[in-house]
Amino acid sequence: MQTNPTYSSLVAVGDSFTEGMSDLLPDGSYRGWADLLAGRMAAHAPGFRYANLAVRGKLIRQIVDEQVDVAAAMGADVITLVGGLNDTLRPKCDMGRVRGLLEEAVEKLAPACRQLVLMRSPGRQGPVLERFRPRMEELFVCVDELAARHGAIVVDLYGAPSLSDPRLWDVDRLHLTAEGHRRVAEAVWQTLGYDPEDTEWRTPMPATLPPGWAARRVADARFARQYLLPWIGRRLTGRSSGDGLPAKRPELLPYEGPGA
């Protein structure tokens, strides 16, 4: 891999993880690791262009249908693709279908850019991860195989101890905090061959006393009321949190910072 490469453009493809939830900005929009990465890359390449096609809640079929061809046609230097995890969290999931769709996406995107970036997504410690771990790991085996076959690079977030720490996850227990997104941006940055700005992004956060029993029960009740029950309701009715929402940054335009 080259050191300190010069890339002139970036297109991000995916779901809420790539959209940037829950890295909330004061204006109510989300920033996230892809925006942070674009800002860093832009500092090294005048005229740098950036598009982010991600929409929260998207399944891999929707990503393939709605984002992949658009991204391929943009002719960017770097394309990031993260998808399929929402599928693995569904009660019923056809992993063969997920693998096939992911392969379709990679086959279209790899020839359309200088460097395709895939990821092994992070997982928060807790019962949700344990329940769905076999599916997630099956997805990551597929990611590794596709990367080897098509010359993509893989950012291993799943294997980073720091990113499993619940303190780096928002109260919804599904999305990273601002600090979590910063560490993901650093991981992608280094994997692309740039000089590290934080060599310790994988390092676990300093230990602190865990919250007491009462505080945990209050947090559990809040989580169930505000996030779990609405999530279950959407699953039962076939709705998604991203229904009707446009892509975050649908055109490949010069990057000028947040809100650009």
**Predicted confidence band at 259 (pLDDT cuts at 50, 70, 90)?**
very low
The token duo for 53 is: 């096609």
Compute the Cα dihedral for 176, 178, 179, 185 and give only its sign: positive
CA-based R_g, the chain, Å: 18
pLDDT digits (tens, 9 = 90+) for 124-173: 887 766 788 899 999 999 999 999 999 999 999 999 999 999 999 988 87
pLDDT digits (tens, 9 = 90+) for 64-105: 999 999 999 999 999 999 999 999 988 889 999 999 999 999
Give the residue, 231 or 72, on which the prediction is more confident.
72
Strands 49-52 and 249-254 come out as antiparallel
The mean pLDDT of the chain is: 88
Sequence-ordered list of residues with C-beta below 8 angstroms from that of 49, at least 6 positions apart, any chain: 8, 9, 10, 76, 252, 253, 254, 255
pLDDT score recorded for residue 260:
42
Sequence-ordered list of residues with C-beta below 8 angstroms from that of 1, at least 6 positions apart, any chain: 153, 192, 193
In CATH terms, is domain 9-254 a member of 3.40.50.1110? yes
Q: Tell me whether residue 6 is exposed, middle or buried, using C-beta atoms within 10 angstroms of its C-beta: 0 to 12, 13 to 18, 19 or more.
A: exposed
Strands 78-82 and 115-120 come out as parallel
Q: Which long-range contacts (CB under 8 A, 24 or more apart) does 62-65 make?
A: 63/13, 63/14, 63/15, 63/101, 63/105, 64/101, 64/104, 64/105
